[in-house]
Amino acid sequence: MKQSAGDCAAARLSRRDMSIFEMQCFLKGKGYSEAEISEAVSLLKEYRYLDDRRYALQFFRYAEKKNWARKKAFVELGKRGVPEDVAEAAFADYEEEFGEIFDEYKMARAEVLKVLRLADLGENDPVPKKVRGRIARRLAARGFSRSIVYDMLDEVSRDLEIE
């Protein structure tokens, strides 16, 4: 006997939080009809088990721990189906709750230090062009703006460069 869409969704939510869009896709993949999906999702929203704003707030905490720039966090939330206005409101809540924690320069510096450590370089060692390229790619992949990437490259390039 096939379990109801609501029971299947609740079981999934017991393992990890999901956006409304992710849940709809999950249930569709399990073969439930649009009517069953709609009913299950509306019930879960009513009981606040599915809440895109809460999901986005938790996602910003995750993104900050992963040293992702604000831009990357918003792109990833968009991929998960969270509407932009909901994400903006959640980010405002995040900033209000945690103050100026989402400091992109601080996060970018942490990523630069990781790359330098992996290359067995200290903060004051000359940085080869190859390692500067790694730094630029890593920061770009985490969604940092060009200006932050160039600022970080300027910081590590101030010493003598080696080929």
| Comparison of pLDDT for 12 and 1, the residue scoring more | 12
Query: Do the domains spanning 52-98 and 104-157 agree at the CATH topology level?
Result: yes
Mean pLDDT of 41-49: 94
Task: Provide the CATH number for the domain formed by 52-98 in this structure.
Answer: 1.10.10
26-45: string of b/e by CB count within 10 Å (b at 16+)?
bbeeeebeeebbeebbeebe
* pTM (2 d.p.): 0.79
Domain ranges of the chain: 5-46, 52-98, 104-157
pLDDT tens, residue by residue, 54-74: 999 999 989 988 989 989 999
Percent of the chain with pLDDT over 90: 72
139: which residues sit within 8 A by CB, 6+ positions away? 108, 111, 112, 148, 149, 152
Mean pLDDT of 106-119: 92
pLDDT tens, residue by residue, 13-40: 999 999 999 999 999 999 999 999 999 9
- Assigned architecture for domain 104-157: Orthogonal Bundle (1.10)
